[in-house]
Chain A
């Protein structure tokens, strides 16, 4: 059994020979199809811990299609956040393989994962996690800036998005002067402005009141419907689960149900 230790890139890694072995065992048959945003194959995440290792994710195989608006629900400790981190390239699997579109990211270096996250993944966090020294506009355009998009185009895209999600006029405000709902909408703008393959939202409504939660879900639903943005929510919130068109349930690190409709 292999367990995780941080590597020089600051990521918890896996025994790569094992992953390569898995590829060889399947004869390289695992290939991605065009409309699949993210795919996992028998992904495990095991944390070395005393007195015994913790198996946070156990053999998850999952396909997320482009345009999905899906939730991942489960009790605390069921492995939701860990699976989200694996899909977003924030941590590496102990075993198994992960593809983002047609690229396998399992063996990516820390630098390659950073590039992949920048280009393909949007994150929305429970605690908003906006950078307090930046204005709403600067926060939202941050990933575009990292991609080298010219300032003029960045501003145009963010302002259009702000107008669309009800943040018009708040561009210059620092996060401390925004309500929780406004901050989370800025975070959503930051996540979607670069048109990523997948937006991972970890309990996005947990720190919001019901009115703000509904507003936020409206925004994300509209972005999904009108722009085809793929969303995966990790959540306990029944309002989020109700709106999802696909619902995955996780228990003890394993998918126990996957329903559409």
Chain B
């Protein structure tokens, strides 16, 4: 006991190892709790990443740039730059050059009727640049039949549900009727280039993708008028910050028209709400894990406190202040927490590595699951993050300290005279 500053910590350390088995079993319980927490958070973030990825990569992208008045009415007339239009290539370039943005692509939207023979379906028509769009979303990349539309061609790529209703397939012709920007109705014949199947009923039943020029032609819109720049980004979880930085970047360019970047959390609000809800439920489950651990560890520590009643009585009799007795017991909890944390980290690293790189595929048991407008593959993939292990580590240490508080209180409340008399 040469260094007095750490005497109570050293005393706590030695006390812990008096019953090695009990300490190891209790610390193991905490470690397993940490592992469970980290794994749950990792899997939840993996599932969330998958949901966001499928929910945004498929059609919308993770970041969209509109005219401020475009959303939420999505008026056909609220194009970027208004009637004057914009330099589309320049805005795409500026967007793509913003750090964190992977790719960007222009879009035009229209509502219309799609007919074949006597069948007619109301559809959402999306005009895209097929080459650029392939870097932003995946809808064009996986046709169920045929192929994606080509730039400059009067072609349409429709969903499986729409194709079935219209009884058409690749090579067949459909008639599109859509309100045009000049107030008239545009209509023309388009060839079905291919059919996509996402598993999302709303998308498969009502979406038609056209080359952007073809849709602009149908809607009597010049090439420099678009509704949206859609972008894919590196980190979907950091979309809000990236949206702000993109807005600032575009403002700094001195554009002569207003723009407003919108993150996926705005235009896929239901997905964001689902993610929040899932996060809250996950937090609750993790909380329950640690609350259960508090009672388990406190029970064990209380047992240890009762076993050492006489020792606490002796140190009190010798003049040890009650606070020092309490601190020693809390230190015991804290040391156990630190040991459990070290063991928990050692356990969780290989588990997370395995779940991240070689995730178990449960496709044989479950098909694809659609939720909140996204499709989730039944794959148990854990996402790496700093937040999960950090929060779990703090949770573990708080648990170990909380577990020690009641035993510490009981240790302080031991009556020296009674304990020494074995009462």
Contact = CB atoms under 8 A, between A and B. Distances in A.
Interface of A: 6, 9-12, 81, 85, 88, 90-91, 110-111, 114-119, 121, 123, 125, 127, 129, 131-134, 138, 141-143, 145-146, 148, 151, 190
Q: Bin the interface of chain B by size.
A: 20 to 34
Interface string B6-39: 0100010011001000000000000000000000
B381 interface: no
B322 A123 contact: no
Contact of B318 (A143, A148, A151): A143
A138 to B, nearest CB: 5
Interface string B302-327: 00000000110011111111100000
B319 A91 contact: no
Contacts of B416: 10, 90
Contact of B1 (A114, A116, A121, A145): A145
A211 B61 CA distance: 91
A138 B319 contact: no
Contacts of A11: 415
Interface string B409-420: 000111111001
Contacts of B15: 133
Contacts of A134: 1, 11, 14
A206 B1 CA distance: 31
B314 A129 contact: yes
B2 interface: yes
A151 B11 contact: no
B4 interface: yes
19 contacts: A10-B412, A10-B414, A91-B415, A91-B417, A114-B316, A114-B320, A114-B321, A114-B322, A116-B319, A117-B317, A117-B318, A123-B314, A125-B314, A129-B310, A133-B15, A138-B1, A143-B318, A145-B7, A151-B3
B365 interface: no
B68 to A, nearest CB: 64
From B321, B415, B417, residue with most partner A Cβ within 10 Å? B417
A11 B11 CA distance: 25
A123 B4 contact: no
Contacts of B417: 12, 85, 90-91
B241 interface: no
Given A6-B413, A111-B322, 20 more contacts: A90-B417, A90-B420, A111-B321, A114-B320, A114-B322, A115-B319, A118-B318, A118-B319, A123-B314, A125-B314, A125-B420, A129-B420, A132-B311, A133-B11, A134-B11, A134-B14, A138-B1, A142-B315, A146-B318, A190-B318
A123 B318 contact: yes
B318 A142 contact: yes
A134 B18 CA distance: 11
Contacts of B311: 129, 131-132
B1 A10 contact: no
Contact of B4 (A12, A145, A190): A145
A46 to B, nearest CB: 14
Given A114-B319, A146-B318, A146-B319, A141 B415 contact: no
A37 B85 CA distance: 102
A151 B319 contact: no
Interface of B: 1-4, 7, 11, 14-15, 18, 310-311, 314-322, 412-417, 420-421
Contacts of B420: 90, 125, 129
Contacts of A91: 415, 417
Contacts of B316: 10, 114
Given A10-B413, A90-B416, A131 B4 contact: no
Nearest to B17: A133
A208 to B, nearest CB: 18
A143 B321 CA distance: 12
B11 to A, nearest CB: 7
Contacts of A88: 317
A132 B246 CA distance: 66
Contacts of B421: 81
- Top-4 shortest CB links A-B: A118-B319, A133-B14, A90-B417, A117-B319
B122 to A, nearest CB: 76
Contact of A132 (B18, B319, B320): B18
Nearest to A133: B14
Contacts of B310: 127, 129
A12 B415 contact: yes
B313 to A, nearest CB: 8
A209 to B, nearest CB: 23
Given A131-B311, A133-B14, A141 B317 contact: no
Contacts of A90: 317, 416-417, 420
A11 B412 CA distance: 11
B415 A6 contact: yes
Contacts of A138: 1
Contact of A131 (B314, B319, B413, B414): B314
A237 B3 CA distance: 41
Nearest to B416: A90
Contacts of B14: 133-134
B95 to A, nearest CB: 66
Contact of A119 (B18, B315, B319, B413): B319
A143 B319 contact: yes
Nearest to A92: B417
A192 to B, nearest CB: 13
Contacts of A146: 318-320
B141 to A, nearest CB: 67
A145 B321 CA distance: 12
Given A131-B315, A132-B18, A151 B4 contact: yes
Contacts of A9: 322
